[in-house]
Amino acid sequence: MTSSPIDNADRTLIDAINLSPTASFRELSKQTGLAERTVARRYQRLHRMGIIRVFGRTLPGFGGTVAWMIRAQVRAGHAQAVGRELASIPRTRWVRVTMAHDEVTFGLISSPAGQDSVIQALQKDPRVGTVTVVQLLQTWGAQGQTNPLNLASEVDELDRRILEELAADGRRPHRDVATSLNIDPATVSRRVQRMRDEKILFFEVEMNLEAHRLESSVLVWLTMAPGQIRELATALSSLPEVRFVAATSGPTSLVVSLSAPVMSQVLDFVDITLARFGVSGVEIQAFEPAVKTSR
């Protein structure tokens, strides 16, 4: 068995960054009990090894676009090829292939008008069977933060350039972003804070799940009667193992992105965590490493 490239102190740091992606090294030092210089050194090593990355992103429905999650059943032997083709499309935000290689699930951004060309192409693809399309109605971030979709906030060209810089490295110091864009650091700080306040910009952590001993990456699709959907979404999004929660159109009520060390913890999540809520249906999708990660 190959030994992990990280130790328990690294995992403690990763967990702290996952909760506070843009926290300073000083703040992370207080949270982890590690010296500030140790935190900086360990983070830089983890980032260099590709084990952790913080990136800035906009909500999937920002700017009047529509956010979809799409499940495409794929004939034997074609899942990876279909996944790679979808990953090459700029409007796909992430692409995953199931462990069984029988389905590709992905996020897509489209215009609200007319049928989307990507969906139409999938429906005509002889390698693809049933295509299920659901719209994201609302998302929940870390600590139960509600993220409404289809925000009308405006950004200008400079905002977009700042967003591009932070999409590459969300922990990049504002002074470095300012130098890259030839503007004042105070301008970067002010604009970043405004975009965060208006929920245009948020920060997400991408982890190498295997290195972090989070070997199970699943989507859990939940069906429930009206009345507790928002309550359940808020409660689930505050859990450390939950990466993402969204209310959806279609036959399901919520979809939850979950990472856990072993599949038995996924069972605990379903059988224990969900027990006090009125969940009437559960479907679990287990995935291989991502073909395309969030963007």
Per-residue pLDDT tens, the chain, 295 aa: give them: 455 678 889 889 988 898 889 999 999 999 999 999 999 999 999 999 888 889 888 876 676 778 899 999 999 999 999 999 999 998 898 899 999 999 999 999 887 766 789 999 999 999 999 999 999 998 887 554 555 555 556 788 999 899 999 988 999 999 999 999 999 999 999 999 998 888 788 888 877 755 555 556 899 999 998 988 999 999 998 887 888 899 999 999 999 998 876 778 888 999 999 988 889 999 999 988 778 776 5
| Beta-carbon contacts of residue 76 (< 8 Å; ≥ 6 apart) | 101, 102
| Together in a domain, 131 and 229 | yes
CA 93/CA 87 separation, integer angstroms: 8
CATH number for the domain that contains residue 183? 1.10.10.10
b/e burial code for range 30-49 (CB count within 10 A of at least 16 → b):
ebbebeeebbbebbeebeee
What pLDDT is stored for residue 50 in this prediction? 84
Residue 43 and residue 161 in one domain: no
Please check whether residue 37 lies inside any domain of the structure: yes
Q: Is the residue at 41 inside a domain?
A: yes
Number of domains the chain contains: 3
Q: Give yes or no: residues 80 and 128 share one domain.
A: yes
The pair of structure tokens assigned to 161 is 């350039």
Is 153 in contact with 200 (CB distance < 8 Å)? yes
C-alpha separations of 205 from 50, 95, 98, 168, 208 in Å? 12, 16, 22, 12, 10
Residue 24 lies in a domain: yes
Is residue 80 within 8 Å of residue 72, measured between CB atoms? Answer: no
Does some domain include residue 204?
no
Structure tokens at 98: 């199931």
| Confidence (pLDDT) at 147 | 57
Same domain, 160 and 139: no
Q: Residue 3 falls within a domain, yes or no?
A: no
Question: Are residues 112 and 188 both part of a single domain?
Answer: no
Kindly report the backbone phi and psi dihedral angles of residue 55, in degrees, each rounded to the nearest multiple of 5, phi listed first: -140, 150
Give pTM, 2 decimals: 0.75
Closest CA to 159 of 109, 200, 107: 200
Instruction: Tell me what pLDDT residue 245 has.
Output: 93
Whether residue 29 is found in the same domain as residue 162 = no
Q: Are residues 224 and 267 in the same domain?
A: yes
Q: Is residue 36 part of a domain?
A: yes
Q: Are residues 69 and 178 in the same domain?
A: no
| Side chain identity, residue 253 | S
Do 133 and 223 belong together in one domain?
A: yes
CATH of the domain at 111: 3.30.70.3460
pLDDT at residue number 264: 82
pLDDT at residue number 140: 86
pLDDT of the residue at 144: 47
How far CA 143 is from CA of 190, 241, 243, in Å, comes to 24, 12, 11
What range does the domain containing 24 cover? Answer: 8-49
38 in the same domain as 18: yes
44 and 160 together in one domain: no
Composition of the chain by helix, strand, coil, percent to 5 = 35, 30, 35
Is position 163 within any domain?
yes
Cα dihedral 274, 279, 284, 285, rounded to 10, equals: -110
- Position 22 in a domain: yes
33: left (phi over 0), alpha (psi -120 to 50) or beta: left
In the prediction, which pLDDT does 289 show? 77
Residues contacting residue 189 through CB under 8 Å, at least 6 positions apart: 174
* Both structure tokens of 62: 């920002």
Final residue before a domain boundary, out of 134, 167, 199:
199
Residues 6+ apart with CB under 8 A from 41: none
Could you tell me if 101 and 158 lie in one domain?
no
